[in-house]
């Protein structure tokens, strides 16, 4: 889009004029941040035209819109990606260089909008980008958190959380749209009356309300002039603070409203795969859902179409259960505002909502106490009660006399609202995010629902966008791929990477590939030197595990294995070993104590290992502070080995595994989540698979029969490692620092001992690691393996995922946008 139009002179003038307008500065006077803002506004100026054209095209072509409802959108930085998608990155880079400005440095000035925790939020961002690139009209709806995911500082080896004030310099890519403000009401009492037409009318009194004000962020499609919107809602008080009311008794009301509004959007709960269970979180959920649905209905009604055609024009995809209150809110709007009958409203709602499940971790299953739910959302609660009453009646008639089933399936049970059940009952589609995950949902977690309504269940294996995670993250590899395939079309058709298979045995291609990997390793080594002060050797094997810190993801298994290796090297100093760098990056939820202890263990092992002159730098351990989308892009491209080692059955899909794969990282992992499909695509000989299967894990969980003590007693080398947790080796002599971790592995003080089967899988992991290192010795064989990973990663583009959602769930149509 830009490419044909980019008039260097005009662009430069634009940047200069933005600097003047925004800061009264010239280029020479401007700070890097000011330059970033000025350049971003110049880019936004171009985006605006396409944004306007897209809106127009959607209206004219009357296409169905996908509304992706999500509490999280982990979009990452926009400037670089927008330029990539506008096909203008290199041109703008050159143009800025002529002005003495370094685009890369400017990109580093951009805050990393961290409006999400991890996998679920990043997936939502990839989906919006793919939807747009493929030409489907879509809206993301979420919350404009004042503070996103906290920044992580490592101090004395411990994680400290620092607020992420991402808006402090202003965010150039957002657009405030006060015209589309909505009111959202909480609490109070309700009763119903007949209105002038004789319709039932629900009157809510003594409620609190806030204004929901939308901000839109453009989502730029790749090379197609299409720009969709991510709409994030900010909260503002209804009564603007008014000094005249200071003495009149309204003061308190005004301040109260100010506070409610401020609180609602203040902060993203930093929980990944875990519920927060706080009243404020439910408020956040209802706040953005009510605003999004009101807004969607208003837009629809403007077209003048019959409300009964709503399912032809819009579909609401619920990203996990967090937006599930949408079911009842849509019913409320259809019943109370549109005055439809229950059956009519239910008929429409159940054709408009679909649900994606992202985890089977029981601690993530959302349940709200009924008294809280009813107090906060009185009318919505009535509706949930009625949905539950009708559903329970249906279960009883399907399974007469089976009250256990009723108890298992009811929406309201044991004084709680089970959000997943509400989502499943109302949705026309329920999907898991990888084949194995969907099977586990059908056969274990959601078995009763699957048996009763099998047609709703389907799988949509996750994917990631190659525009960000290959083109932007790894320009060297991207250029090489384009050169070898003689086309850039892989940017929108990742299956074309299969063409690289023809090169995997070609020595020249192998050495190119190795050289590119090396350049990426040097780039990461520089980042580590700058940020951690640690020297790492780019010639060493880079073994990387980056993801949220969670016990089920088993960073602990990884670091215990590092300790094991360290012991071996110390015992056999003469033995030749492969030089290795173990790299970790992970944030722990602020209240997740065990996760924080594991971070401390990793950093403590790093401290000892990195400073032990006797091992001569044979292994190094690095904990990268503040893992986030922007540094992830540097990390994925630099990995030799990709650690995907969750306890089988626990990781719904994983998407980091796909980002590594595309960039030629070889997986060491369990048969869990999408790893199963990765291995299927690349061949078992091009990955290192170990550990219990999901069936075995589930078997142990359901029937017992695993005792970690047996392994501790029979494997002396592993025992040595475990004992080192409590003999002070890594804690400056302190025997208590890692006692809880030790206990969690061997005793069942708090739940099952070694709940995540770390000891059980240790030996098999050790063997897989040894096999990986042996393979790495043969440079040519390794290059082949790495290239096969890139070549076989086509399936894991989110473009493929989105086309499957469209085909099976959304049934929406592409639109054409004319560029200017
Ligand atoms: C995550 C899953 O843990 C991960 O396996 C998956 O790839 C990702 O979702 C995208 O589907 N789940 C969450 O982040 C979460 O909080 C409630 O689930």
- How many domains would you assign to the chain? 2
Q: How far is the CA of 673 from the centre of ligand 1 (A)?
A: 10
Distance CA 610, CA 613 (A): 8
Q: How far is the CA of 791 from the centre of ligand 1 (A)?
A: 26
Mean pLDDT by 10 residues, the chain (820 residues): 68 96 97 98 95 96 96 97 96 95 97 95 98 98 97 97 96 98 95 82 90 98 97 89 55 75 93 89 98 98 97 98 98 97 98 97 92 97 98 98 98 98 98 98 97 98 98 98 98 98 98 98 97 92 98 98 98 96 97 97 98 96 97 97 98 98 98 98 98 97 95 98 98 97 88 94 98 98 98 98 98 91
401 shares its domain with 516: no
Q: How far is the CA of 70 from the centre of ligand 1 (A)?
A: 12
209 DSSP β-pair partners: 185
Give catalytic residues, as residue numbers.
358, 547-548, 553, 655, 659
**Residue ID of nearest Cα to ligand 1 atom 15:** 273
Cβ(231)–Cβ(292) under 8 Å? yes
Q: Rg of the chain over CA atoms, in angstroms?
A: 27
758 shares its domain with 687: yes
690: which residues sit within 8 A by CB, 6+ positions away? Answer: 668, 669, 670, 761, 764, 765, 767, 768
Per-residue pLDDT, 362: 86
450 shares its domain with 481: no
Nearest to 612 by CA among 520, 729, 490: 729
| Domain-embedded: residue 124 | yes
| Domain-embedded: residue 687 | yes
Distance CA 418, CA 691 (A): 34
493 shares its domain with 353: no
* Alpha carbon distances (Å) from 601 to 23, 584, 769: 47, 12, 21
| Domain-embedded: residue 48 | no
Q: Which atom of ligand 1 is nearest to the CA of 356?
A: 11
Cβ(286)–Cβ(184) under 8 Å? yes
Nearest to 655 by CA among 493, 547, 583: 547
Q: Is the CB of 135 under 6 A from ligand 1?
A: no
150 shares its domain with 283: yes
Q: Is the CB of 673 under 6 A from ligand 1?
A: yes
**Residue ID of nearest Cα to ligand 1 atom 17:** 273
| Domain-embedded: residue 233 | yes
**Ligand 1 pocket mutation pick from 114, 270, 430, 653 by most atoms within 8 angstroms of CB:** 653
771 shares its domain with 660: yes
| Domain-embedded: residue 750 | yes
Query: What's the sign of the alpha-carbon dihedral 725, 726, 727, 733?
Result: positive
Q: What is the CATH number of the domain that holds 774?
A: 3.40.50.2000
524 shares its domain with 451: no
Q: Is the CB of 657 under 6 A from ligand 1?
A: no
418 shares its domain with 326: yes
Strands 416-418 and 367-369: antiparallel
Per-residue pLDDT, 260: 84
Q: Which atom of ligand 1 is nearest to the CA of 117?
A: 14
Per-residue pLDDT, 1: 44
Distance CA 182, CA 623 (A): 44
Cβ(580)–Cβ(541) under 8 Å? yes
| CA angle in degrees (0–180, nearest 5) for 335-281-326 | 25
Per-residue pLDDT, 721: 98
Distance CA 686, CA 679 (A): 8
Distance CA 642, CA 755 (A): 24
N- to C-terminal Cα separation, the chain: 8
420 shares its domain with 526: no
Locate 180 and state its tokens.
């589309």
| Domain-embedded: residue 55 | no
Q: Is the CB of 465 under 6 A from ligand 1?
A: no
Taking the CA atoms of residue 355, residue 359, residue 362 and residue 368 in that order, the dihedral angle to the nearest 10 degrees is -40
Query: What's the sign of the alpha-carbon dihedral 6, 10, 13, 14?
Result: negative
* Alpha carbon distances (Å) from 265 to 148, 164, 290, 547, 628: 10, 13, 14, 25, 21
Distance CA 123, CA 651 (A): 14
Residues in the chain: 820
268 shares its domain with 319: yes
Q: Is the CB of 653 under 6 A from ligand 1?
A: yes
Distance CA 408, CA 446 (A): 10
Q: Which atom of ligand 1 is nearest to the CA of 118?
A: 14
Burial class of residue 743 in the structure, from the number of CB atoms within 10 Å of its CB (0-12 exposed, 13-18 middle, 19+ buried): middle
Q: Is the CB of 492 under 6 A from ligand 1?
A: no
Neighbours of 458 (CB within 10 A): 16
458 shares its domain with 472: no
Q: How far is the CA of 550 from the centre of ligand 1 (A)?
A: 12
| Domain-embedded: residue 820 | no
Task: Quote the ipTM score.
Answer: 0.98
Expressed as residue numbers, the domain containing 597 is: 466-796
What is the helix (H) or strand (E) element at residue 532, kind and residue range?
Answer: helix 507-532
Q: How far is the CA of 124 from the centre of ligand 1 (A)?
A: 11
Distance CA 209, CA 187 (A): 9
383 shares its domain with 477: no
| Domain-embedded: residue 12 | no
Nearest to 265 by CA among 141, 117, 142, 146: 146
Per-residue pLDDT, 479: 98
Locate 739 and state its tokens.
């006692």
**Ligand 1 pocket mutation pick from 74, 115, 119 by most atoms within 8 angstroms of CB:** 119
């Amino acid at each position: 889009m830009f490419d044909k139009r980019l008039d260097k002179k005009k662009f430069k003038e634009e940047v200069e004029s933005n600097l003047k307008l925004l800061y009264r500065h010239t280029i020479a006077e401007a700070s890097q941040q000011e330059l970033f803002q000025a350049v971003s506004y110049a880019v936004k100026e171009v985006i605006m035209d396409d944004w306007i054209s897209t809106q127009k095209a959607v209206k004219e072509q009357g296409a169905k819109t996908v509304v992706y409802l999500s509490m999280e959108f982990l979009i990452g930085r926009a400037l670089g990606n927008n330029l990539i998608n506008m096909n203008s990155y290199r041109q703008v880079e050159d143009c800025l260089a002529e002005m003495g400005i370094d685009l890369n440095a400017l990109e580093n000035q951009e805050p990393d909008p961290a409006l999400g925790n991890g996998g679920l939020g990043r997936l939502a961002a990839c989906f919006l980008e793919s939807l747009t690139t493929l030409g489907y009209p879509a809206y993301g709806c979420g919350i404009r958190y004042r503070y996103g995911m906290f920044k992580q500082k490592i101090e004395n080896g411990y994680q400290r959380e620092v607020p992420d004030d991402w808006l402090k310099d202003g965010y150039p890519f957002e657009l405030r749209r006060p015209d589309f403000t909505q009111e959202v009401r909480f609490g109070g009492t309700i009763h119903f009356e007949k209105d002038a037409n004789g319709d039932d009318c629900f009157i809510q009194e003594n409620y609190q309300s806030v204004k929901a004000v939308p901000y839109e962020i453009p989502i730029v499609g790749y090379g197609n002039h299409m720009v969709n919107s991510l709409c994030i809602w900010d909260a503002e008080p209804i009564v603007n603070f008014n000094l005249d009311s200071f003495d009149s008794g309204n003061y308190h009301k005004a301040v109260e409203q100010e506070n409610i509004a401020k609180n609602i959007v203040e902060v993203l709960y930093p929980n990944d795969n875990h519920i927060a269970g706080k009243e404020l979180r439910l408020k956040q959920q209802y706040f953005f859902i009510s605003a999004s649905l009101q807004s969607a209905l208003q837009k629809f009604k403007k077209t003048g179409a019959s409300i009964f055609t709503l399912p032809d024009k819009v579909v609401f995809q619920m990203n996990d259960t967090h937006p599930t209150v949408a079911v009842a809110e849509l019913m409320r709007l259809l019943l109370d505002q549109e005055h439809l009958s229950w059956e009519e409203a239910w008929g429409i709602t159940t054709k408009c909502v679909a649900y994606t499940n992202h985890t089977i971790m029981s601690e993530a299953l959302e349940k709200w106490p009924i008294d809280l739910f009813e107090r906060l959302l009185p009318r919505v609660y009535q509706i949930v009660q009625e949905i539950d009453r009708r559903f329970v009646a249906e279960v009883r008639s399907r399974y007469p006399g089976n009250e256990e089933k009723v108890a298992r399936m009811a929406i309201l049970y044991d004084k709680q609202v089970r959000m997943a059940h509400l989502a499943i009952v109302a949705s026309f589609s329920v999907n898991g995010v990888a084949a194995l995950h969907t099977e586990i949902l059908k056969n274990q977690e959601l078995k009763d629902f699957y048996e009763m309504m099998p047609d709703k269940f389907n799988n949509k294996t996750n994917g990631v966008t190659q525009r960000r995670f290959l083109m932007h993250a790894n320009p060297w590899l991207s250029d090489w791929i384009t050169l070898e395939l003689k086309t850039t079309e892989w940017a929108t058709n990742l299956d074309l990477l299969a063409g690289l298979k023809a090169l995997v045995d070609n020595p020249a291609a192998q050495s190119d590939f190795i050289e590119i990997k090396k350049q990426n390793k040097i780039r990461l080594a520089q980042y580590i030197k700058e940020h951690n002060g640690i020297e790492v050797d780019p010639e060493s094997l880079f073994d990387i595990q980056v993801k949220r810190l969670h016990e089920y993801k088993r960073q602990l298994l990884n670091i215990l294995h590092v300790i094991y290796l360290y012991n071996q090297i110390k015992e056999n100093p003469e033995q030749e070993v492969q030089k290795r760098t173990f790299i970790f990056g992970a944030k722990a939820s602020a209240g997740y104590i065990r996760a924080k202890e594991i971070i401390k263990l990793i950093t403590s092992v790093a401290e000892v290992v990195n400073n032990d002159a006797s091992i001569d730098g044979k292994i190094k351990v690095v904990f990268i502070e503040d893992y986030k989308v922007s540094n992830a892009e540097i990390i994925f491209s630099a990995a030799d080995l990709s650690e995907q080692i969750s306890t089988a059955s626990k990781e719904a899909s994983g998407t980091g595994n796909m980002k590594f794969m595309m960039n030629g990282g070889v997986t060491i992992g369990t048969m869990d989540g999408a790893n199963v499909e990765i291995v299927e695509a690349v061949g078992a000989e091009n990955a290192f698979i170990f550990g219990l299967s999901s069936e075995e894990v589930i078997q142990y969980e359901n029937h017992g029969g695993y005792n970690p003590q047996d392994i501790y007693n029979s494997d002396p080398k592993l025992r040595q490692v475990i004992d080192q947790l409590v003999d002070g080796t890594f804690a400056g002599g302190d025997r208590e620092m890692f006692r809880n971790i030790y206990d969690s592995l061997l005793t069942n003080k708090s739940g099952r001992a070694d709940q995540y089967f770390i000891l059980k899988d240790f030996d098999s992991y050790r063997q897989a690691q040894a096999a990986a290192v042996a393979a790495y010795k043969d440079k040519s064989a390794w290059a082949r393996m790495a290239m096969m990973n890139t070549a076989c990663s086509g399936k894991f583009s989110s473009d493929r995922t989105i086309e499957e959602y469209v085909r099976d769930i959304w049934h929406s149509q592409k639109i054409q946008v004319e560029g200017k």
